[in-house]
Amino acid sequence: MNFELSDEQLAFAQLARDFARQDLAPFAAQWDAESIFPVDAFRKGGQLGFCGLYSPEAQGGLGLSRLDSALVFEELAAADPSTAAFFTIHNMATWMLCTWGQPALQAEWGERLTSGEQLASYCLTEPDAGSDAANLKTSARRDGDDYVLNGSKMFISGAGSTDMLVVMVRTGAAGAKGISAIAVPANLPGIRYGKKEEKMGWNSQPTRAIFFDDVRVPVANRLGEEGEGFRIAMKGLDGGRINIATCSVGAAQGALNAAQAYLGERKQFGKALAEFQALQFRLADMVTELVAARQMIRLAASKLDAGHRDASTYCAMAKRFATDAGFNVCNEALQLHGGYGYLRDYPLERLLRDARVHQILEGTNEIMRVIIARRMLEADAPESIR
């Protein structure tokens, strides 16, 4: 792990920063207020490679490392965490299809997804299987050359507006080993979408339930082998946890930038707020927390890129710490703005609302603690995590 970014990494980050400033920031408040899913922005980002950052080059992806990808996601999230988060979800689902899909499936869908021409959703959560994902009930019964899907998913980002669903289904006995992953075109007969959920944040991406009623999907659309779905889903979530942690750091950076500017501009009692030592100390704590979270994410990403045996633990630690720290920084930045921070004229309240859900999704922070503690209490637990 090198703390100094290379010229190539800096160039990727600058490309993302420019895109975020030109194509996300000016519209983020409107997308949030009017619940607009900005398909054109995703397609334009796709032209820059942002829809297939770590997908294989053979399917049109950039084949970047998770560390490199995190640099891009952070810049996008500093302008618009909600839209940036959907970029990460699409990247995760696309990577899964491009990595475990059969050649014909990859040929048909790979470049359409990595280019952003079409978009993908990740479908794991169910009404009775949230944190207990291994208990999912949606079934896929083999019938000749097809699977027949029945069941439901909920809290699915992009549902009803995307083209491909990467769905975890039960093809075998109870438990994790009976789960398979299937790529399901989103417009197949028998698929129904629930109402668009009204949410506290993340309003630039729709969230709906999905219902599968005797949906026939070719066996050739399975990702990996039968029974590998839970393992594939968890591998996707290792990266997804880094991604969503990065979105928290991006949101926090956007909030910190706004707070820095505001402290220099706003005057009280005859002097700028930046001259009050109490506020200087708060700013110092905010940036310290932010840098610590960023470095923890980059450490976890480097472990995942290296295939480290404890990469999942590092990803869980990064997700837990960075999403908590990111939300706290956004909250502090809003407080520094006083009453103005509560107004939609400023980005603080939107950044705060968007960042809050990061502590829940991709595995709640309570589940992250379970993952970390279980590893530390195993017989072959490392003496130290470094």
Q: How do residues 342-356 score in pLDDT, each as one tens digit?
A: 999 999 999 999 999
Question: 3-state DSSP call for residue 245?
Answer: helix
The answer to whether 323 and 294 are in contact (CB under 8 A) is no
CA dihedral 219, 101, 157, 54 (to 10 degrees): 180
pLDDT of residue 1: 58
Structure tokens of 184? Answer: 């399901």
Instruction: Give the integer Cα–Cα distance in Å for 362 and 141.
Output: 27
Positions marked catalytic: 362
CB atoms within 10 A of CB 201: 20
Instruction: Give the integer Cα–Cα distance in Å for 13 and 18.
Output: 9
Structure tokens of 321? Answer: 């710490």
pLDDT of residue 2: 66
Q: What DSSP character marks residue 65?
A: -
Tokens 């993340």 identify what position?
A: 202
- What sign has the CA pseudo-torsion 141, 146, 149, 155? positive
Closest CA to 71 of 131, 27, 111, 11: 11
pLDDT < 70 positions in the chain: 1-2, 386
